[in-house]
Chain A
Amino acid sequence: MEHHLVLSIVARILIPLIMLFALYVQFHGDYGPGGGFQAGVIFASSFILYGIIYGIENLRDVVHPSFIRSLAALGVLIYISVGIVTILNGGEFLNYNFLSEHPVTGQHIGIIFIELGVGMTVASTMIILFYAFARP
């Protein structure tokens, strides 16, 4: 897509903004609408925009498919690890009250890690799907 000058320049401006917005949605999910699912999708869409405008091969150089596959698994792993840590601290599976001395602080820590795991898995799965469907 070398000829689409306007598209490539607009994408160059938009991609960092989309990523920033995704991070905002990810970490502001406790206070406003949003959370891991939405943030993951928005974050993935910035990569997909890059792939559409600059070509799949260039996107492959930015995020390697095997890296993104392990990232998807890592997200689920983080989620389950939080549950296992709560068991080790003497509580039930995914009872975040046991993550810290103070129950509410434990809930905050738990929610941040869970949302991180969700966001990672969702974002990487969306990029995996794009890799699988997009024609090189």
Chain B
Amino acid sequence: MIILYINIILLCLLVVTAIAINQQSNLFATTMLTGIFSLLSASLFVCLDAVDVAFTEAAVGAGIALILFLGTLSLIKYKEQIRNKVSIPGLLVVVITGSLLIYGLRDIPAFGKPENPVQIYLADKYIVESEKEIGIPNLVTSVLVSYRGYDTLGEVTVIFTAGIGVLMLLGRSRDNYKGIVSKEKP
């Protein structure tokens, strides 16, 4: 029962943070609020007993992403440019997408029911047989690395490709920073 109240409080705080991010025009404050948002989501994942996901969210969302945002902020202005004009097509797209999403919510199975599709397909096999087949206690690791090793290869390749993409777009000029400065200002 207490978990339910904690969940309600955390979800309310998430909504409050999201509204605050939307209202804020100072980008530094927005960045910090994004970090708080990630930390709140990590706490929610802990309440759902998904500690591995919570760990990742806390490390990536509240840690590294925040640092990268701050690094970007040091390259641009801190103040967001306010446009007061309301874009009618944008508003229409948002309203239509939002109502479609709420309509789609009706088909989602109830939270945590044992007969949900996610619980009856393969989950039993993993829970019962992974200890025997893989021999390690952490079910998440055995699913992530062994049963779904091919997917994880894809994820690692995506991260690697993202790194290469950033290097191609931003890396070269900054990497030779010393050289460029010494050439331009002898």
Contact = CB atoms under 8 A, between A and B. Distances in A.
A30 B141 contact: yes
A48 to B, nearest CB: 6
Contacts of A108: 135-136
Q: For A48, A72, A129, which residue has the most chain B Cβ atoms within 10 angstroms?
A: A129
Interface string A112-133: 0011011001101110111111
A38 B55 contact: yes
B171 A131 contact: yes
Nearest to B173: A132
Given A41-B60, A75-B156, A133-B72, A111 B146 contact: yes
Contacts of A83: 149, 153
A80 interface: yes
**Chain B interface helix/strand/loop/mixed:** helix
Given A35-B144, A76-B156, A134-B71, A128 B166 contact: yes
B163 interface: yes
A35 B145 contact: yes
A130 B175 CA distance: 11
B137 interface: yes
Given A41-B60, A69-B167, A131 B174 contact: yes
Interface of A: 25, 29-35, 37-38, 41-42, 44-45, 48, 52, 57, 65, 69, 72-73, 75-76, 79-80, 83, 93-94, 96, 103-104, 107-108, 110-111, 114-115, 117-118, 121-122, 124-126, 128-136
Given A30-B141, A107-B135, 6 more contacts: A30-B138, A42-B59, A94-B150, A107-B136, A110-B145, A115-B145
Interface of B: 51-52, 54-56, 59-60, 63-64, 67-68, 71-72, 74-75, 133-138, 140-142, 144-146, 149-150, 152-153, 156-157, 159-160, 162-163, 166-167, 169-171, 174-175, 177-178
19 contacts: A33-B54, A44-B64, A45-B63, A57-B178, A93-B150, A96-B149, A104-B133, A104-B134, A104-B135, A107-B134, A110-B145, A110-B146, A111-B134, A114-B149, A115-B141, A125-B162, A128-B171, A132-B171, A133-B72
